[in-house]
Amino acid sequence: MSDSFKALQIDKNDDGQSVNFVQLTEDDLMEGSVTVAVEHSTVNYKDGLAITGKAPIIRKFPLIPGIDFAGTVLSSNHDDIAEGDKVILNGWGVGEGHNGGYAERARVKGEWLVPLPDGMTTAQAMAIGTAGYTSMLCVMALQDQGVKPEDGEILVTGAAGGVGTVAIALLAKLGYTVVASTGRVEEEDFLKGLGASSIINREELSGPAKPLAKTRWAGAVDAVGSNTLANVLSQMNYLGVVAACGLAQGFDLPATVMPFILRGVKLIGVDSVMCPLERRKAAWQRLAQDLDMDKLAALTSHQPLDNVVAVANDLMAGKVRGRVVIDV
């Protein structure tokens, strides 16, 4: 069997960034204790930024992008991982400074890999992907802070995107009443099918925020940042909790301290990239248990590796609904 394999590679020279499919061998991969036959990857917002070059995500050239993958271990020098194991990788700088998931082979540190939970397929793991795993971290953050279904409505911003759709499905299954904020109001039926009880137009939240507004939310998962997060903070109930993970509107936060000092509002930051292994494993176990796999299928589409650049462009143009699995 030839050990050459197909990979998407991003390179950079004085003329700018180029993105091409190439044939590589395992010698071209970076250091790591485990080599994986990649079965599926996905396209996250960060992958869209990397492939389109809209933000300096890639820190080494040439590099295989793709911040996620799931597959089967081909060889391992790591004590806890054996040949044939099914594994998931999210983050750790893979697809940024280390070769990533848009290739038939990947080599990474064994301690970066999470075992695939029982009952979950590698395709389902990538339908979840970093976006869905981040949604789970956000939901866990709300629960850690004691937000309960009976406390009131939970707002999800960026609702029709990857983080938003999975957050809605998770929260609804856990019994929370979920309100979805979206710019795609035509997706109302889709979002309600996932478990949203109602939707609001994201324009209600996108303008400059008042220090305090009428209280409305017991909790919120925010994938949008900027004015949207500032408005969400100003509308939180007394002791309300916001889990903030994204910057789809912008990385600024034009807010005041008033929600914190007059209403005891809590703003919890969520990072998926360097999240410690034990919390990752807990999040993936919770996803296997708390995510309705039929709903996941309803928000997932599949594309071959050849189409990954087109999907990344669509994602950046806000044309992708839910999650896209890349069949490697």
State the minimum distance, in angstroms, from the CB of residue 173 to ligand NDP. 19
- Our CB check for ligand NDP shows the closer of 35 and 272 to be 272
Q: By CB under 6 A, tell whether 162 contacts ligand NDP.
A: yes
- Our CB check for ligand NDP shows the closer of 76 and 231 to be 231
> Which candidate, 140, 156, 182, places its Cα nearest to that of 285?
140
- Residue spans of beta strands (DSSP E) within 101-195: 105-108, 114-115, 154-157, 178-182
Q: By CB under 6 A, tell whether 131 contacts ligand NDP.
A: yes
Q: Beta strands 105-108 and 86-90: pairing type?
A: unpaired
State the minimum distance, in angstroms, from the CB of residue 26 to ligand NDP. 29
The 269-308 site mask, x for binding ligand NDP (CB under 6 A), equals: -xxxx-----------------------------------
- Our CB check for ligand NDP shows the closer of 76 and 181 to be 181
The CA-atom distances, in angstroms, between 188 and each of 181, 183, 205, 263 are 10, 10, 17, 31
- Our CB check for ligand NDP shows the closer of 80 and 271 to be 271
Q: By CB under 6 A, tell whether 169 contacts ligand NDP.
A: no
What is the chain's alpha carbon radius of gyration, rounded to the nearest angstrom? 20
Query: Are 31 and 89 in contact, with CB atoms under 8 Å apart?
Result: no
State the minimum distance, in angstroms, from the CB of residue 25 to ligand NDP. 31
- Characterize 24-61 residue by residue with b for buried, 16 or more Cβ atoms within 10 angstroms of its Cβ, and e for exposed: beeebbeebbbbbebbbbbbbbbbbbbbbeeeebbeee
d(CA 147, CA 313): 37
d(CA 79, CA 85): 12
- Our CB check for ligand NDP shows the closer of 207 and 264 to be 207
> Which candidate, 32, 125, 22, places its Cα nearest to that of 70?
125
Which one of 120-128, 212-220, 252-260, 264-272 is the stretch in contact with ligand NDP (CB under 6 A)? 264-272
- Our CB check for ligand NDP shows the closer of 37 and 273 to be 273
Residues 6 or more apart whose CB falls under 8 angstroms from that of 86 comprise 70, 71, 72, 73, 115, 116, 122
Tokens standing for 151?
């406390």
Q: By CB under 6 A, tell whether 232 contacts ligand NDP.
A: no
Q: By CB under 6 A, tell whether 132 contacts ligand NDP.
A: no
The CA-atom distances, in angstroms, between 173 and each of 127, 142, 153, 182, 261 are 18, 15, 14, 20, 33
Among 71, 101, 246, 259, binds ligand NDP (CB under 6 A): 246
Q: Is residue 166 classed exposed, middle or buried when 0-12, 13-18 and 19+ CB atoms within 10 A define those classes?
A: buried
DSSP 63: B
Among 98, 202, 263, 280, binds ligand NDP (CB under 6 A): 202
Which one of 179-187, 209-217, 276-284, 303-311 is the stretch in contact with ligand NDP (CB under 6 A)? 179-187
Which one of 31-39, 110-118, 143-151, 244-252 is the stretch in contact with ligand NDP (CB under 6 A)? 244-252
Which one of 18-26, 74-82, 213-221, 240-248 is the stretch in contact with ligand NDP (CB under 6 A)? 240-248
Among 63, 248, 309, 325, binds ligand NDP (CB under 6 A): 248
Q: How many residues bind ligand NDP (CB under 6 A)?
A: 33
- List residues near ligand NDP by CB under 6 A: 44-46, 130-131, 134, 158-164, 182-184, 202, 206, 223-224, 228, 245-249, 270-273, 315, 318, 320
